[in-house]
């Protein structure tokens, strides 16, 4: 069985106080990117195995895909004998949720293949135990996520064109959250909400991440100055910065200009967000 696991964008991310469980209280609006996906190939086997075509991705028990299988086995009492191969297309350390999406996809596939009778709520509970973003990927569209990310509410967001840019480095999510409270804004960088089709695009993690990685602030500032860009924001904890494009915007041309003006090694992707429900 082959399954695609889509990336996501955070259109807004607000952070409140740290909870007693160590997580921060969140309010975030997320949309899927159905055109940017990892691919998982799952086949029956004599014993479980996991491999990835990206050697930088761990294939041991620290990988969220492996953890998802182990959690499913623990919950259902089944032994899942499958060979899982991951074709990685979503960059790591990017704030695009690739690992979380892979984990959610495998939870859903295990239930399809094993047919244990777990319902949507059961899978949601398992997903929440794996990570804050994982429950979102069990849904099929935009969601407003609260709590530490596990309290989901369907949202209606029209599709729009975007350009994603990411430098060669990644950002540690725990480090970004850990530095949030004490971080300071950089002069000359826009952090305030940007209005877009009745939404406010804003990300509270830009402050700590830009302070540590000022090149990401430079990317955002550069994008906001380009014609055909309606808004620009960092996704999640970074290191991806995305631009919302006008309908006649040329994402490929903008990506080439960014490589010329900012960094010739920038990774880029252009496409559309997931549309309204």
State the catalytic residues: 8, 133
Burial class (CB in 10 A: 0-12, 13-18, 19+), 65: buried
Nearest Cα neighbor of 106 from 120, 91, 86, 88 is 86
Q: Give the pairing type, strands 229-234 and 24-44.
A: unpaired
- Crossing angle between the packed helical segments 64-76 and 98-114, to the nearest 10 degrees: 30
Q: State how far the Cα of 92 lies from the Cα of 209, in Å rounded to an integer.
A: 16
Task: Work out whether the CA dihedral 11, 15, 20, 22 comes out positive or negative.
Answer: positive
Tokens found for residue 85:
């191969």
Note whether 96 and 170 are within 8 A (CB): no
Q: State how far the Cα of 102 lies from the Cα of 39, in Å rounded to an integer.
A: 8
Note whether 237 and 131 are within 8 A (CB): no
The residue whose two tokens read 């480090």 is 175
Note whether 132 and 26 are within 8 A (CB): yes
Q: Give the pairing type, strands 82-87 and 24-44.
A: antiparallel
């Amino acid at each position: 069985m082959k399954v695609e696991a889509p990336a996501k964008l955070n259109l807004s991310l607000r952070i409140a106080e740290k909870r007693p469980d160590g997580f921060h209280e969140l309010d975030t609006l997320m949309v899927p990117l159905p055109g940017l996906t990892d691919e998982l190939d799952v086949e029956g086997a004599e014993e479980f195995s996991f491999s990835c075509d990206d050697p930088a991705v761990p294939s041991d028990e620290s990988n969220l895909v492996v953890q998802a299988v182990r959690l499913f086995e623990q919950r259902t009492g089944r032994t899942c004998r499958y060979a899982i191969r991951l074709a990685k297309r979503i960059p790591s350390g990017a704030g695009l949720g690739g690992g979380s999406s892979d984990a959610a996809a495998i939870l859903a596939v295990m239930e399809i293949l094993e047919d244990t009778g777990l319902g949507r709520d059961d899978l949601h509970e398992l997903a929440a135990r794996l990570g804050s973003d994982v429950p979102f990927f069990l849904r099929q569209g935009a969601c407003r996520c609260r709590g530490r990310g596990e309290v989901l509410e369907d949202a209606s967001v029209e599709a729009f064109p975007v350009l994603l840019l990411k430098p060669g480095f990644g950002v540690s999510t725990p480090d970004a959250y850990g530095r949030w409270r004490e971080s300071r804004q950089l002069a000359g960088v826009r952090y305030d909400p940007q209005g877009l089709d009745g939404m406010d695009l804003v990300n509270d993690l830009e402050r700590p991440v830009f302070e540590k990685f000022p090149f990401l602030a430079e990317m955002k500032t550069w994008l906001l100055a380009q014609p055909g860009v309606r808004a620009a924001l960092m996704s999640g904890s970074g290191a991806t910065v995305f631009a919302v494009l006008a309908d006649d915007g040329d994402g490929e041309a903008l990506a080439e200009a960014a490589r010329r003006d900012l960094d010739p090694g920038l990774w880029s992707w252009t496409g559309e967000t997931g549309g309204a429900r």
